[in-house]
Structure 1
Amino acid sequence: GERGAAGNYGVLVKDVDAFVRHIASAHGIATENVVVIGQSFGAVTVATWVHDYAPRLRGMVLAAPAFKINLIVPGALAGLKMLYAARGNYFVKSYVKPTQLTRDAARIASYHADPLITRPIAANILLEVDEAATRVVADAGAIHVPTQVLVSGNDAVVYEAPQQEFFDNLGTENKELHRLDDFLHDTLGERHRAIPIGLARTFIERLFAAAPAQPGLLDADQRGLTKTEFDTLSRPATTAAARLYWAMSRFWIGVGGRFSTGIKNGIATGFDSGSTLDYVYQNRQQGFTPIGKLVDNVFLNSIGWRGIRIRKQHLEQLIGQAIGLLKAASQPVRILDIAAGHGRYILEALAARPGQADSVLLRDYSPANVAAGRRLIAEKGLTGMVQFEQGDAFDRAGLAALQPRPTLAVVSGLYELFGDNNQVIKSLAGVAGAVETGGYLLYTNQPWHPQLEMIARSLTSHRAGAAWVMRRRVQAEIDELVAQA
């Protein structure tokens, strides 16, 4: 895209992942033998990547991370958001002078002369990096990579408090923070940069003097960040005002269910049910009266359901990629989904690639989902190729005995609903026993959700109408469970 711009901030985070993967494949350097150094905006991008992707890095060094930019003008961020909402994307010019970055005369001159330095930044990136930084600082407990933070003590470009908060929240015990009292923002380009570079070198040498750190999250369902969060959400809110607020939330959801088809279905079957997810996937507003359709539209466009539909797109893309890899290796394409709901994402992925799968077995524990899935198979003309049967996704022996052995297994939206890691390991071990050597596993995870408390205190689950309380799994945890299986 245009310099200073991207479709969204996630593109930049993905670029970091792609580059590190390139280093690994092109130069044979394993990820656990890589330390990534980022400064300012780049440090935020590195931290976001480590949080979201959970790479098994040896460590990271973050210099002057721009977790909160000093925009000088009070209310500037709110104004930028309003303007973006009104007119779409635009560019914001940085008024940071090189003399605010460093006292090194050569660096100042190079800043003026370097044609690759671009002062304008796209508004969507500026706003999204602020959102990502806020999220990563708050949830830094999910980060288990050894981390060094270098803080410039005389930094007028970014605020120091979020840097300290990020450090305090980090989930790794192997961490250190150094405050360089008189340094400007360009920590690694300041006049006395030998000091922070020396600190980084010492940190990196210490990391390589020991074995790579292992997060050890197999028992995260018993202790730690997400267990504490889960326990808090499982108990009633602590104040009378909060309890009243959530009671009113449940009341209005009940009222909404009288008009909105989606809310009505969620109340009847559980907001986490296969029926509700299939309704969300279809994304067609329905309801009693125009008001009902309006309420249904609000329901369908909540941030969580928008994310679910993006997850569906990603699954379909990954299924296509896996089919391509199997074909390229002259392997049969035998697909298994152990908890398919209605199976829509599998069936629509297959519809886009007719004749490419040799066999497909969809399974679900719910007879209602199996019946709905079979109807959908017939509707899409896939009766001869796709089978749908009732089955327990946590039956290790039953999964391992499935025939013919799948070459592509899919587990989508299941483990997010079950916080017990022993259950998940049993399921994954069954899948591992089933999948042919050289096959693939696609799995989903929920490391973060902005509406976790609302869901826990307002929505009901498929489990006899009990509250829908979820324990998040940080990405490193689910990856460790998969590796264990």
Structure 2
Amino acid sequence: MTPSLPTAWTTQESGFDSFDRTRLFYRSWQPVQPRVDGPPRALVFLHRGHEHSGRIQPLVEQLGFTQDWAFAWDARGHGHSPGERGDAPSFYALVQDFEAFVRHLQATHGIAAEDIFIVANSVGAVIAATWLHDFAPRVRGVVMAAAAFDINLYVPLAKPALRLALRFKPGLRVTSYIRSRMLTHSAGQALLYDSDALITRNISARVLIDLADTAQRVVDDAHAIDTPVLMLAADKDYVVKQAPQRRFFDGLASRFKRFVLIPDCHHAIFYEDEPQAQQALQASQAFIEECFAQPLPPLSDYHLAHTHSPSAHRYQALQQDMVGSAWEKAFFGLQKAMLDRLGHLSNGMQIGLSQGFDSGASLDYVYRNQAGGRLGVGAVIDQGYLDAIGWRGIRQRKVQLQGLLGELIAQYPADQPLRILDIAAGSGRYVLETAKRFQDRPLEITLREINPRNLEQAQELSMELQLKNHIAFQRRDAFDPDSYPEDEAPYDIVIVSGLYELFSDNQRVLQSLQGIAQQLKVGGHLVYTGQPWHPQLLMIAKTLNNHLGRAWQMRPRPQAEMDALVASVGCRKLRSEVGIAGIFTVSVAQREAAAQPASGSAASSPAATTPG
């Protein structure tokens, strides 16, 4: 006999430590009669802006998955979580909080990612969408109700005005114009909303603008998301616009997706009058059941994503000069001509022009971040070059990589030798600078690189840093199977940074990863970088040359694809760090099993300069 809904779960209140050690509040609903036909499953809820997890209780009961866990958090600045009401360091901090929340649930309750389903409302739906794009969790599916990809601000030029105001008052907060009757036709639900003391009417202008910018990015790059998604849109939504929700849905690469427009419905879809709320609930129940009934796509589906995926099609269009308007191409052509004529005045641009903007030498210059040039104006040009969003992201990637590498080193026994391998080290700066902080540890470091000049620079840097660690320098091609001899002692940590982003072909990447797994201890860690997207693909392709002297044309590899390639060789991702605007990522995986041969034949590859 199934328990009645109010007694189907035992409820608890608890907290978790987020990425910055802030302790956030959450609620859990533990099933009284958990399922016995499989592993534990969970529904994880994200509340709307201004609200809190207490508002989720009726939704848990109405969906009626009485054998499954349910969880809901209070976003920072909301409900019982700390912080100024409606405020956060940024909108992206909320995304990082959610990643920390889900990892906490997995660790605490032993629920696997593939047994988790997300239900998100409004601003919560944008958090969920950004999380799917940047962190690429292999969850079962997501319901997004009235996703706030574009909020109706009504006041003309509201966003530019807020951006300007934030320059003078960074802590600016605005009061929401939303009234309960704009959210729902239900008088009872409107009364509950108005009488809830934990609902805040304020929102940080900084968070609001960051939300808008992040939502735009995720909508534009929705093809990187292949998780099953049900989108519920309200026919008469006065709070958010419907068109971006449709555009996001149309762009999704998900094989299983559904868009439901609910007639005569206001923004608070699940809190509407009976007909509208019931339609939303029934659509959600059916979708959740269908998602759990079908298996997730096999990892091998990603192996040929470089030829059969939305990102592959965009890359092919870029190669065939089918991207961009005539005006854009003319503008970038002018930029290219100016770069060829004046670029030699900038030290950084000169390196890029001569050795490639993706070369190890170019990236090492970007890491140093010291502008220089000729004739006075060259240093000014160089500073603008170094301040480009991509280069700022590269420098942040270095900081994140060094931070994760340092954490990994610290967790190994201090009195035992620790073997570290970088398969494409460039000048080795991030590894060697990290090793400098562990001079008291018995580190054995191997730096591999195909470019002899990069190896020379790495040796010079190791002497400059006066490192006492044992360091070996090897000239090897990261894509050559012979670079990973079976008779070598295995490594505890293997690093691949800034390499796979330069090559579209997944077969080459798989071949390299297979070699890495062969040389990585079971239980050892792989640190790898990714580039899920870039806002300046056309500009870079039209103006910058790569290390081969050709146009630098990139295929951003979605994070889900990169993680799947890593998982295909027996390494499970533990965590990711995401950089500025989600352009670059640094991830850590752990080898759990012997690597299996990747499907498909790996194409032979020419030696490649690898920047690290």
- TM bucket (normalised to shorter chain) is over 0.9
Partner of residue 243, structure 2: 161
The one of 552, 558, 566 equivalent to 1:468 is 552
- In structure 2, relative to structure 1, the CA distance for the partners of 1:468 and 1:402 (3 Å cut) is farther
Partner of residue 324, structure 1: 410
- In structure 2, relative to structure 1, the CA distance for the partners of 1:126 and 1:323 (3 Å cut) is same
Partner of residue 170, structure 2: 88
Deviation at 1:302, TM superposition (A): 0.3
Deviations 1:426-456 (A, max 9, x none): 1000000001121000000100111111111
Partner of residue 254, structure 1: 340
Partner of residue 339, structure 1: 424
Higher relative contact order (CA 8 A, sep 6+): 1
Instruction: Say how many residue pairs are matched.
Output: 483
Which amino acid in the other structure matches residue 253 of structure 1? Answer: L
Partner of residue 477, structure 1: 561
Separation in structure 1 between the aligned mates of residue 416 and residue 147 of structure 2, nearest angstrom = 46
- In structure 2, relative to structure 1, the CA distance for the partners of 1:237 and 1:252 (3 Å cut) is farther
- In structure 2, relative to structure 1, the CA distance for the partners of 1:116 and 1:348 (3 Å cut) is farther
User: Which structure dedicates a bigger proportion of its chain to helix?
Assistant: 1
Deviation at 1:359, TM superposition (A): 0.6
Deviation at 1:121, TM superposition (A): 1.5
- In structure 2, relative to structure 1, the CA distance for the partners of 1:243 and 1:371 (3 Å cut) is same
- In structure 2, relative to structure 1, the CA distance for the partners of 1:308 and 1:323 (3 Å cut) is same
Separation in structure 2 between the aligned mates of residue 99 and residue 331 of structure 1, nearest angstrom = 65
Alignment of 1:17-416 (within 5 A): 17-192=99-274, 193-214=277-298, 216-236=301-321, 240-327=326-413, 332-382=417-467, 384-401=469-486, 403-416=488-501
Deviations 1:3-49 (A, max 9, x none): 32222222211111111122222112111011100000000100110
Deviations 1:333-355 (A, max 9, x none): 21111111111111122223332
**Secondary structure of 1:359's partner?**
strand
- In structure 2, relative to structure 1, the CA distance for the partners of 1:332 and 1:188 (3 Å cut) is farther
Maintained 8 Å contact 2:444/2:469: no
**Secondary structure of 2:261's partner?**
strand
**Secondary structure of 1:444's partner?**
strand
The one of 535, 555, 567 equivalent to 1:450 is 535
Unmatched 5+ stretches in structure 1:
none
TM-score w.r.t. length of structure 1: 0.96
Deviation at 1:398, TM superposition (A): 2.1
Partner of residue 419, structure 1: 504
Identity between Structure 1 and Structure 2 (%) = 41
**Secondary structure of 1:327's partner?**
coil
Maintained 8 Å contact 1:326/1:332: no
Maintained 8 Å contact 1:84/1:90: yes
Maintained 8 Å contact 1:335/1:357: no
Separation in structure 1 between the aligned mates of residue 511 and residue 565 of structure 2, nearest angstrom = 10
Maintained 8 Å contact 2:343/2:350: yes
Separation in structure 2 between the aligned mates of residue 426 and residue 11 of structure 1, nearest angstrom = 36
**Secondary structure of 1:436's partner?**
strand
TM-score w.r.t. length of structure 2: 0.76
The one of 81, 86, 89 equivalent to 1:7 is 89
Separation in structure 2 between the aligned mates of residue 203 and residue 471 of structure 1, nearest angstrom = 32
Deviation at 1:88, TM superposition (A): 2.8
- Tell whether 2:516 aligns with 1:434: no
Partner of residue 602, structure 2: none
User: Which structure dedicates a bigger proportion of its chain to strand?
Assistant: 2
- In structure 2, relative to structure 1, the CA distance for the partners of 1:209 and 1:375 (3 Å cut) is same
- In structure 2, relative to structure 1, the CA distance for the partners of 1:367 and 1:319 (3 Å cut) is same
Separation in structure 2 between the aligned mates of residue 400 and residue 93 of structure 1, nearest angstrom = 63
Unmatched 5+ stretches in structure 2:
1-82, 570-612
- In structure 2, relative to structure 1, the CA distance for the partners of 1:265 and 1:383 (3 Å cut) is farther
Deviation at 1:240, TM superposition (A): 4.9
Deviation at 1:383, TM superposition (A): 5.6
Separation in structure 1 between the aligned mates of residue 85 and residue 437 of structure 2, nearest angstrom = 34
**Secondary structure of 2:523's partner?**
coil
The more displaced of 402-411 and 296-305 is: 402-411
Separation in structure 2 between the aligned mates of residue 85 and residue 214 of structure 1, nearest angstrom = 48
